[in-house]
Structure 1
Amino acid sequence: MTVSEQGRLFVNFPRWTEDSPVSVAEVMKDGSLRPYPDEQWNAWRNVRRDELDPGRHWVCVQSVVADGRGSVWVVDPAAPAVDGLVPGGPKLVRIDLAADRVVQVIRFGPDVAIPGSFLNDVRFSHDGKHAFLTDAGQRGALVVVDLASGKARRVLDGHPATQPEKGVVVRTDGRPLRYPDGRPVLFAADSIALSSDGAWLYWKALTGTTLYRIQSAALTGKGLAGADLSSQVQSYGQEWDTETVDRHDGGMGWRTPAGGAISNEGWVRFLPAPAGRGTVVTLRFRFEPPDGAPGKWLLELLGTIPLRLVADGILRRFKNLVETGEIPTTARQPAARADTY
Structure 2
Amino acid sequence: MPIPALSRLRIAAAVMAPLILGQPVAAAPPSLAVAVQNPDAVWNAVAVDGARVFLAGPRWTGTKLPPLVVVDGAGTPHSYPDAAWNAWAPGADPSRAFVNINAIHRDEAGGLWVVDTGAPDFGGNPLPAGAKVVRIDLKTARVDRIIPLGPEIARPGSYVDDIRFHGDHAYLTDAGQPGLIVLDLITGAARRVLDRHPSTLAPADRPVVVEGEMVMAPDGRPLAVHADPLEVSPDGEWLYYAPLEGPWSRVPTRLLDDPAAPAATLAAAVQPWIDLPPVGGTAMGPDGSLYYTDLAANAVRRRAPDGGVTTLAQDKRLHWVDAPYLAADGTLWLPAAQMDRVALFHHGVSRVRPPMTVFTLYAR
Secondary structure at the residue paired with 1:238?
A: coil
Among residues 244, 247, 250, which one is paired with 1:213 in the alignment?
250
Tell me the secondary structure at the aligned position of residue 75 of structure 2: coil
Partner of 2:268: 231
Out of 43, 59, 65, the position equivalent to 2:99 is 59
Q: Aligned partners of 2:181, 2:278: CA distance in 1, in Å?
A: 27
The reply on whether 1:179 has 2:217 as its aligned counterpart is: yes
Matches of 1:164 and 1:93 in 2, distance apart?
Answer: 27
The CA distance in 2 between the partners of 1:57 and 1:267, in whole Å, is 35
Give the conservation status (yes or no) of the 8 Å contact 1:159–1:230: yes
Contact between 2:119 and 2:125, CA under 8 Å: does it hold in 1?
A: yes
Aligned counterparts of 2:263 and 2:71: Cα–Cα separation in 1: 42
> More displaced, 74-83 or 89-98?
74-83
1 CA distance for matches of 2:100 and 2:298?
Answer: 36
The answer to whether the aligner puts 1:24 opposite 2:24 as a matched pair is: no
1:133 is paired with a residue whose SS is strand
Q: Provide the secondary structure at the position in 2 that maps to 1:221.
A: coil
- Offset from partner CA, 1:31-54 (integer Å, 9 cap, x none): 111101000000013xxx11x110
Query: What 5-or-longer segments of structure 1 have no aligned partner?
Result: 244-253, 258-264, 269-282, 284-304, 316-320, 327-341
Higher RCO structure, 1 or 2 (CA under 8 Å, sep 6+): 2
Q: Give yes or no for the alignment of 1:6 onto 2:6.
A: no
TM-score, scaled to structure 2: 0.64
- State the distance in 1 between where 2:298 and 2:133 align: 39
The percentage of counterpart residues that share the same residue type is 37
Over alpha carbons, which structure has the higher Rg? 1
Letter in 2 for 1:122: I
Amino acid of the residue matched to residue 63 of structure 1? A
Per-residue CA deviations over 1:59-92 (Å, capped at 9, x if unaligned) read: 0000111112111000001122322222210000
1:310 equivalent in structure 2: 308
Structure 1 segments of 4 or more deviating over 3 A? 1-7, 17-21, 225-228, 254-257, 265-268, 321-326
Ranges in structure 2 where 5+ consecutive residues have no aligned partner: 1-44, 281-292, 313-325, 332-364
Distance 1:68 1:19, change over 3 A: same
Q: TM-score, normalised by structure 1?
A: 0.68
Match of 1:73 in 2: 113
User: Structure 2 CA distance, aligned partners of 1:226 and 1:44?
Assistant: 40
| 8 Å Cα contact 1:134/1:189 also seen in 2 | yes
Paired residues for 1:1-341 under 5 Å: 1-18=45-62, 20-45=64-89, 49-50=90-91, 52-82=92-122, 83-125=124-166, 127=167, 129-137=168-176, 139-206=177-244, 208-222=245-259, 227-228=263-264, 229-240=266-277, 310=308, 325=330
Aligned-residue RMSD, C-alpha: 3.2
Separation of aligned partners in 2, 1:13 and 1:240: 23
Change (3 A) 1:21 1:195: same
How far apart are the structure 2 equivalents of 1:212 and 1:12? 28
Q: 1 CA distance for matches of 2:299 and 2:237?
A: 33
Q: What SS is found at the alignment partner of 1:166? A: coil
One-letter code aligned to 1:189: A
Kindly indicate which of the two structures has a greater share of residues assigned to helix. 1
Cα deviation code 1:163-213 (max 9, x no counterpart) = 11121111234311113442121110001111111111111101x321101
Deviation at 1:147, TM superposition (A): 1.1
Deviation sequence 1:204-250 (CA, Å, 0-9, x none) = 101x3211011111111146x6644101101112112599xxxxxxx
1:255 Cα offset (Å): 9.5
CA–CA distance in 2 between the matches of 1:86 and 1:65? Answer: 23
